[in-house]
Every structure is written in structure tokens, then in C-alpha cells.
């Protein structure tokens, strides 16, 4: 599953203070670290990849529990952390919550890692 | 300090299974999450930015404590976590340790965030 894709080159000039583009102010470092903290868990990384690989780039929570082998409350907790970090959106449809990856958030996180 | 720099486009094809390039295997998710966990702390994000912004892209630990306002043992602990994650190298020169950012590690982390 090592599909590779072109690195995004969207306009990131307006969005980010790269980690390596100068000494970060504490509030910038806080914001960047919050995103990476949400990404710093293997289950959440897998959930993101599952959602991104789903049809239409979105997934029902009912389809996420089996692949990661965790209960729905546990998956919901991880999804809440990802949503709080702005990495996914959540939409309730009837009984189920549907999640989609916020591509811009990943782009911004990647932009924060640009090298001087 | 919002200097912006071009997004790296080095050959990342060989290095990474992007989060969004397909469903990640558990071991790939573990590896990616380990890097992001190291980045998921504001002090470590600032330390990385301080080192990257230093002359020659390297910094003595003796120059890192003041800017982050922490003791040397605390900074050393953060630097060890960054080094263990492969994000910095460490070189002892006499009394002091010098750290340099591993650009490839940041590139790989950014590549793991590429969008499908």
C-alpha cells in the first residue's frame, strides 16, 4: 500500500510558519504541536488513511471499527481528537457519524515541516 | 517569523506510505505516528525551529536553554526524544552536545501527509 502521490504545492504561503523557516513564537509552536499530537498515535494515523482511502474520501464510523479492531466508543474517541485538531470533519446522518479528511489541514501540517 | 519556503520535492517515492495514499498497515502507521508524537510538543517544535534557524543549521545545547526558558536537563530530555525519532543528530564536542536537524526526516514526515 505504498502508493505515492505528488507532493502538494498549494499556496501555503499564507497558512504557515514552517518549523524550519525561523524561530517559532510559542503560540505558533503550540498550534503546530497540537496537530502533530493528534497525528502521534498509530490508530489515528490508520483511521485517517482508512477515511482518505474510502469512496468519496469519507467514511461512516460503522466501517472504521472492524479494520482497526477497536470498539466503537474507542474509535469515536480517536475521531473526536482528530476532529478537535481540525484534521477531519464530522457529519451526523441518522444513526451514524460520517467523517471526511480535511485536506487543507494535512497540507498545512506538511507545510510546517518545510526545510530552510 | 512567517518566512515561507518552497515545499520540498525531493524523491519521496521510495520513502513513505502517505497517510492518505491507501490504507496503512499497522507497522507503517506505528512508524509514522512515532515521528508525529515526537513533533507533538510545543517545546520540541520550538527547539527544532531554533536549531534549523541557527548558523550552519546546528546548535549547541548551551544556546537552546535560554530561548525556551527551560533547564538544560529538560532541554536534553526533549532533544533525546527528537534524536530517538530520527529528527535530529547529536554530536558531542568537548563539553557540549551539538544538534542538527535531519532534513530528510522532516521531508519524509511531510510526505506521509500527502493527499490522495
Searching chain A, which residue's CA lies closest to the CA of residue B28?
A: A42
In a domain, A66, yes or no: yes
Higher pLDDT, A52 or A18: A52
> In chain B, which residues have their Cβ closer than 8 Å to the Cβ of A28?
1
In this complex, which of B12, B24, B43 lies closest to A46 when CB atoms are compared? B24
- Residue A92 belongs to what domain range? 42-111
CATH number of domain containing A49: 1.10.10.10
In a domain, B20, yes or no: no
In a domain, A32, yes or no: no
pLDDT for the residue numbered A16: 57
Question: How large is the average pLDDT for residues A109-114?
Answer: 84
**d(Cα B66, Cα A92) in Å, to the nearest integer?**
48
Q: How confident is the model at residue A21 (pLDDT cuts 50, 70, 90)?
A: low
Number of domains present in the structure of chain B: 1
* Contact (CB<8Å) A33/B42: yes
Q: Is the pLDDT of residue A43 over 60?
A: yes
Q: How confident is the model at residue B115 (pLDDT cuts 50, 70, 90)?
A: low
Residue B58 C-beta-side C-alpha neighbours within 13 Å: 13
Residue A57, phi-psi category: left (phi > 0), alpha (psi -120 to 50), beta (remainder): left
* Contact (CB<8Å) A24/B45: yes
User: Against a cut of 0.90, is the pTM above it?
Assistant: no
pLDDT over 70 percentage in chain A: 81
Searching chain B, which residue's CA lies closest to the CA of residue A22?
A: B53
In a domain, A33, yes or no: no
In a domain, B43, yes or no: yes
pLDDT for the residue numbered A67: 94
In a domain, B50, yes or no: yes
In a domain, B3, yes or no: no
Structure confidence by residue, pLDDT tens digits, B13-34: 345 567 766 788 888 889 899 9
In this complex, which of B3, B23, B113 lies closest to A21 when CB atoms are compared? B3
In a domain, B6, yes or no: no
Q: Tell me, yes or no, if B12 comes closer than 8 A to chain A by beta carbon.
A: yes
- Which range, of A21-30, A74-83, A101-110, B71-80, averages the lowest pLDDT? A21-30
Question: How large is the average pLDDT for residues B57-67?
Answer: 95
Q: Is the pLDDT of residue A98 over 90?
A: yes
Give me the residues of B, 50-109, that contact A with CB < 8 A.
Answer: 50, 52-53, 57, 67, 101, 103, 106-107, 109
**3-class secondary structure per residue, chain A:** CCCCCCCCCCCCCCCCCCCCCCCCCHHHHHHHHHHHHHHCCHHHHHHHHHHHCCHHHEEEHHHCHHHHCCCHHHHHHHHHHHHHCCCEEEEEECCEEEEEECHHHHHHHHHCCCCC
* Contact (CB<8Å) A16/B32: no
- Mean pLDDT, chain A, as a whole number? 83
Amino acid at each position: 500500500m505504498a502508493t505515492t502521490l505528488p507532493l502538494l504545492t498549494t499556496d501555503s504561503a499564507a497558512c504557515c510558519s514552517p518549523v524550519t523557516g525561523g524561530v517559532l513564537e510559542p503560540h505558533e509552536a503550540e498550534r503546530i504541536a497540537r496537530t502533530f499530537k493528534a497525528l502521534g498515535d498509530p490508530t489515528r494515523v490508520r483511521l485517517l488513511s482508512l477515511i482518505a482511502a474510502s469512496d468519496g474520501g469519507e467514511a461512516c464510523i460503522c466501517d472504521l471499527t472492524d479494520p482497526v479492531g477497536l470498539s466503537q466508543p474507542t474509535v469515536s474517541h480517536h475521531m473526536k481528537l482528530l476532529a478537535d485538531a481540525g484534521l477531519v470533519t464530522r457529519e451526523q446522518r441518522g444513526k451514524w457519524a460520517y467523517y471526511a479528511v480535511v485536506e487543507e489541514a494535512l497540507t498545512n501540517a506538511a507545510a510546517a515541516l518545510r526545510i530552510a
